[in-house]
Amino acid sequence: MIRLLLADDQTLIRAGFRALLDAEPDMEVVAEAGTGKDAVRLAERDAPDVILMDIRMPDGDGLAATRQILANPRLAHTRIIILTTFELDEYIAEAVRAGAAGFLVKDTEPEELIRAVRVVHDGDALLSPSVTRRIMAQLALHSKAAFPAVPLDQITEREREVLALVGEGLNNAEIAERLFITPLTAKTHVSRIMTKLLVRDRAQLVVLAYESGLVRPGWSS
């Protein structure tokens, strides 16, 4: 069972998300928060698997709450999906650095929301929708460096190839097809890269790929 926390200051949005997610046989909303402070408190109390986190909330915004939650060793398994709009690129950049696993616009289709929860719960980053790829590209181009010194000498040439493809938004199956390897081998490469470069998850790898120069601006999905 995927245990969820909904953090949004709009009651109607929380109610809609709860009705949708609770209807899934493998999902359960265990708590709702209307402020950033409450999001942190309830995350610490209930240790949810996935949090849907709005950025603009009173009494501690979603960005500050994301930092605090993901810095807690007890919540190392918790994955956060940021609820956002196109106007919040600078905040998204900070959320990636804090370890957010993905992004959704609030008017996303119901099936996409459900898929997103399962994707991040399974340990992947929510990078497949084209809107997310464009956001990631923008945050990498217009934000301060998240990784001031990218230690690319710590990874092999093959791992650099894999990192570049992660930066382009490819999933493990697509990387495997591009490099003529198995999806399991691609997954192993990604895991090793994250370990070597001390990166929390795939979302941070995308930013690292841009800021290290392995991926150049201007590509599109």
**Overall size of the chain counted in residues:** 221
> Is residue 191 in some structural domain?
yes
Q: Are residues 13 and 103 in the same domain?
A: yes
* pTM for this entry: 0.73
Q: Are residues 39 and 105 in the same domain?
A: yes
Q: Are residues 108 and 170 in the same domain?
A: no
Alpha-carbon distance values, 112 to 79, 105, 183 (Å): 17, 10, 23
Please report, as a single letter, which amino acid is at residue 17: F
List b or e across 41-64, with b for residues whose CB sees 16 or more CB atoms inside 10 angstroms. Answer: ebbeeebbbbbbbbbbbeeebbbb
Here the tokens at position 53 are: 């986190």
Query: Which of 56, 91, 126 lies at the terminal end of a domain, its last residue?
Result: 126
pLDDT given at position 129 = 47
> Is residue 38 in some structural domain?
yes
Here the tokens at position 189 are: 């490469």
Query: Which of 92, 126, 160 lies at the terminal end of a domain, its last residue?
Result: 126
Q: Could you give the count of Cα atoms lying within 13 Å of 44 in the half-sphere of its Cβ?
A: 12
Here the tokens at position 214 are: 């392995």
pLDDT given at position 178 = 95
> Is residue 135 in some structural domain?
no
pLDDT in tens, the chain (221 residues): 999 999 999 999 999 999 999 999 999 999 999 999 999 999 999 999 999 999 888 888 888 999 999 889 999 899 999 887 655 556 666 777 777 888 787 888 899 899 989 988 887 766 544 545 555 555 555 554 444 556 788 899 999 999 999 888 788 889 999 999 999 999 999 999 989 988 877 777 877 887 777 876 554 44
> Is residue 145 in some structural domain?
no
Q: Are residues 94 and 157 in the same domain?
A: no
* Domain range for 174: 152-211
Per the listing, tokens 């790829």 go with 133
Query: Which of 109, 126, 143 lies at the terminal end of a domain, its last residue?
Result: 126
> Is residue 102 in some structural domain?
yes
Domain count, the chain: 2
CA dist 168 and 206 (Å) reads 7
- CATH number of the domain within which 39 lies: 3.40.50.2300
- CATH number of the domain within which 200 lies: 1.10.10.10
